[in-house]
Structure 1
């Protein structure tokens, strides 16, 4: 297109230059005016040709990519333009497919004239539509005489995820109460960005078989990039927002009890929380709940000053007493103890500290009755 514009621009320059010289050499005022009018007409014609060339090139480009007008690119994500160009260069079928919008293929359609996809010359990849709306093949057995044929073809396997790339799936045809009476030639399937699928259809093994378009999956074309189309019965579909998974969650907490504890305290409620990254520690209950599966390390401490008195604090994990912080004072003095414990926890595991016996003391600044922990490594 740029070369054509340059050529036309040069031609226009030559025409104007020659006419300008001729007009300059004309003695008569009338002839000079007539020459200038001729130059103006030639200029308009040249500009019209340039515009026509631009429109033709643009039209050719649109015709070559008209398959993208059905939402192959999510307009909400500008970062997709680069990957889109890369995909086109690599021949990604998500951007190079044929639209297959035939209402008779719908799973709720019955016609007197029975179609046969064996007579179709399948070539390349196809995307299913129903009245201009994106749709996909059924993953369940379709009743006989639906989809405009005798034996409807359905996908005998789940649709792939995007990370699976291009996969091969078997295709079955329902006939005489046998959902897979006809085991047709396998096809290739790929999931594309934008919650739609493309299929590389092949000729079925026999006639009066046709590929189906599941009318129940119309909702799938409305799912956003952060949603997936899910169904429990493969009939009723809905858009479900994908859960955001933390790649490297930061889980740390440190709390203290600024007071005295005596005797049996089933669960210490550490009211002074200094660090609570990830908000997995509950100030009101004194319980830490593991937000992800992984390896955790905990520490807890006590301080006592009563002669001949034993003080025990236990770390409790999912109801099991797993580690103790023990002190025993034999003479008038004060003794403290800090214990640590490392373990593997599943998501939802609960951890707390119990005061089993003795007497512990602390104040607002001593930090002698403490409880803390961190996630060391997440297990995916």
Structure 2
């Protein structure tokens, strides 16, 4: 009876997940050359499919030519991203119908990590369609530049009627807006966006605009369009002006997706921003579904050629209704321990990818069974014990490597442009009193007195090549008696497209922890609103080696309410399947 029920359930599941419309003729075209397996990322401008609102089925193209996903692992840094996503296995055959395939990405080996699975179908005409979903990391789905070296759908031996092209649903159907955006848009009339507004004293940034829906561009009431050729740096009221790649569509094309580039450092596409949708409308104008760009300071341009400007006054309009700006100077959160020159900190050299010199600890620090007498504060957001590190791309924990590392926020930071990295250690005074109070509050079952505190602070440090960003956090080491603790305090954290990670890892990964959502730069700003001790922005760990208490308060107060971090521990030896029931 059990097998019958399982079989019935399986059949029901397949029926419910079979597409109601054949995706071979109802898909969205995905033609983005940066997805190619031979496209290497320069300047750390990584694309991120985690931020894409995937909906329905997609067919992959490369410069208009049919292509497909790779079936083997792809090296880091290819496909326009840091974590390239490929199929972990072969494509299906025509007779297989819709199948589920595992998607993988590489960190230290080949396809050693898995993302969410996707559905795939082989179609008549030797192409595939994919039901893409949001990956688990800030990676991107890859495309093989020449699909001929990959598998192709086998030709069916049965006669199959292929619809004539006029009767095939256009590719845009699955994502076509319910209301025609040609007649349902927001007018965007910002004089500062014009292409001839150069070297403006007020730098604008569209990253902070809450984009929603479709927009039509104007300059002083005159209809204009985005430029579709490279725009000079420091134009359009911003640092890196955004222009449209591959030209505008025609009315017959319907809604299309276009890549967007930002000109910087004499590279017309130095910033590969997030793609947008565009539609050509009857009447000779265009509408754009603008989205948040990949960084600051980037802004969408309005082509000012053949436009009469009646005033040269540049008044920012759209971006004044923003959420916040990176230029805003906010005080350090109350959870921060004293830092800076006023606290007597030693300041790291303002060098990109630099580190402190070796710091001799005034008291030994016990970290999961290993006692250290020295430490290094590395500018890219992490602490190491045996040697300095210039690494700006975090490896995934657990790495099962040969070093202990504490990652407050391991990413590509640059204190040579903005911000200060500093440190201080204490063996007496108010800081020890505060540390004693904090630990006894967070660990009420312990009686603890701090005898040594080490505070490392990253204050308003910018990301590499994103000079308008500011990120602030602390790593605090506390010891006393046989106890050691680690505090991570988070202030304002700017979002980023750089790979990121917060947590710690040990030799052979006998102990490790990754703060939830800290591996995605798009959500990294949530760190200041997360905690495992009910103090927003603070994470606390016992790290002397006692495994039961290394991570406390199992029910995390992370705002996501994800049960992976919000559960009750159930540790009852009698539940083991090797325990027999004894009756007396």
TM-score by length of 2: 0.22
Greater percentage in strand: 1
- Greater relative contact order (Cα < 8 A, sep 6+): 1
Greater percentage in helix: 1
TM-score by length of 1: 0.34
Question: Considering only CA atoms, is the larger Rg found in Structure 1 or Structure 2?
Answer: 1
